[in-house]
Amino acid sequence: MANTGTTTDARHRIVPSPAGRTHLVEQGTGPLVLLVHGFPETWYSWRHQLPALAAAGYRAVAVDVRGYGRSSKPAEVAAYRMRRLVADAVAVVEALGEGSAVVVGHDWGAEIASHCALLRPDVFTAVGMLGVPYSPRGGVRPTEMFGRLGDGSQEFYVSYFQEPGRAEAEIEPDVRAWLRGFYAALSGGTMPGPDAPPPYFVSHGGRLADRFPTGPLPGWLDERDLDVYAAEFERTGLTGALNRYRNADRDWEDLADQEGAPVTRPALFIAGGLDPSTTWLSGAIEAFPTTLPRLSGSHILEGCGHWVQQERADEVSRLLIDWLGSLGG
């Protein structure tokens, strides 16, 4: 169900950050809840949660991560490493005149959120992760691990995204069509069936889009929503967004002092039962008693794909509000 949110009284702002500037959209008053999107999205992926959280008595703030939307887009690939994204989040909290916040993220935003709570627990008092579970830094270099997921005939999508310019050459000639296919490929109801080649692998010499489904839009996405996303990426290009993938090994090096470290702040996890991330990262979910010792809820929504806060907007908003209420002062 698309466009159920009402953000007419939301306010757009630009605030200073280590990136240069961070664009955000805020709605409501009360304790601060910082919402961090993933790939390939923008603040707009939280359009349903902004009014819901505001109505529940929270100051909901959705950012454009550096490289996206109206936020700054540094040219250097290394500018998109995790520690710098955490610094951006801290700067947003400070620019809003707050001393602390709950941080909630989806996809790459979930990784950013969990590392905000890991690296700056003095600022981020609790963390919600949607779609991607927290996984501590381990002993295997990420590019080596991603390489193991491919074989002689196909390549894992993260490996495909590593080389600057390669994925851009596929996506940017027709951004809208590519986004449409990518969203559908990971949505409950439109993703390819179990007998089809998985859309998150690329045949050698092929394109990721070769495995995208054709047909109607997912139920959570209408033509207007797609226009919003396409317009942003047609304007900005995809390089800033893709550069997050290109820092996997840098992050691994930067976080050597955090190997195996748990996130000790209160935590929540929500994911779609059809989201491939829950399969790839099933070991991370099983390790939650160790890695997230203050996890108060882990919710797998049956029949839901990757875009959980958009596919199940009302349910996710309710889970978030109930969890936030349980945190107390």
- Mean pLDDT on 311-315: 98
Domains held by the chain: number: 1
pLDDT tens for residues 191-233?
998 899 999 999 988 999 999 999 999 999 999 999 999 999 9
Let me know the angle formed at the C-alpha of 158 by 165 and 81, rounded to the nearest 5 degrees: 75
For the four alpha carbons of 79, 81, 83 and 88, in that order, the dihedral sign comes to positive
DSSP bridge partners of 62: 25, 35
Q: Is residue 5 part of a domain?
A: no
The Cα–Cα gap between 315 and 152 comes to: 41
Please give the DSSP secondary-structure letter assigned to residue 206: S
195 is catalytic: no
Amino acid at 19: A
What share of the chain in percent tops pLDDT 90?
A: 89
* Tokens (6 digits) for 286: 């099983």
The Cα–Cα gap between 67 and 64 comes to: 8
Let me know the angle formed at the C-alpha of 222 by 40 and 277, rounded to the nearest 5 degrees: 40
What pLDDT is recorded for position 145? 87
What's the pTM value of the predicted model, to 2 decimals? 0.96
Which residue carries 């002092």 as its tokens? 257
The range of the structural domain enclosing residue 289 comes to: 11-326
What pLDDT is recorded for position 146? 87
For the four alpha carbons of 299, 305, 308 and 310, in that order, the dihedral sign comes to negative
The Cα–Cα gap between 179 and 187 comes to: 12
Work out the mean pLDDT of the chain and round it to a whole number.
95
pLDDT tens for residues 107-136?
999 999 999 999 999 999 999 999 999 999
The Cα–Cα gap between 307 and 132 comes to: 11
48 is catalytic: no
**What are the phi and psi torsion angles at 114 (to 5°)?**
-65, -35
Q: Which residues lie closer than 8 Å to 1 by C-beta, 6 or more apart?
A: 219, 220, 313
Q: Is residue 137 part of a domain?
A: yes
pLDDT over 70 at 5, yes or no: no
Going by pLDDT thresholds of 50, 70 and 90, the confidence category of residue 147 is confident
Count CA within 13 A, CB hemisphere, residue 186. Answer: 24
pLDDT tens for residues 257-274?
999 999 999 999 999 999
What pLDDT is recorded for position 152? 76
pLDDT tens for residues 67-110?
999 999 999 999 999 999 999 999 999 999 999 999 999 999 99
Which CATH number belongs to the domain containing residue 229 in this structure? 3.40.50.1820
Q: Which residues lie closer than 8 Å to 136 by C-beta, 6 or more apart?
A: 258, 259, 260, 261, 262, 291
Q: Is residue 3 part of a domain?
A: no
Radius of gyration for the chain, computed over Cα atoms and rounded to the nearest angstrom: 18
The Cα–Cα gap between 30 and 283 comes to: 36
Coil, strand, or helix at residue 129? strand
Q: Is residue 100 part of a domain?
A: yes
Q: Catalytic residue, from 64, 88, 107, 251: name it.
A: 107
Count CA within 13 A, CB hemisphere, residue 101. Answer: 30
Q: Tell how strand 20-27 and strand 59-63 pair up.
A: antiparallel
pLDDT over 90 at 6, yes or no: no
What pLDDT is recorded for position 4? 44
Q: Is residue 6 part of a domain?
A: no
pLDDT tens for residues 17-66?
999 999 999 999 999 999 999 999 999 999 999 999 999 999 999 999 99
What pLDDT is recorded for position 1? 37
What pLDDT is recorded for position 8? 72
Going by pLDDT thresholds of 50, 70 and 90, the confidence category of residue 329 is low
What pLDDT is recorded for position 3? 41
What share of the chain in percent tops pLDDT 70?
A: 98
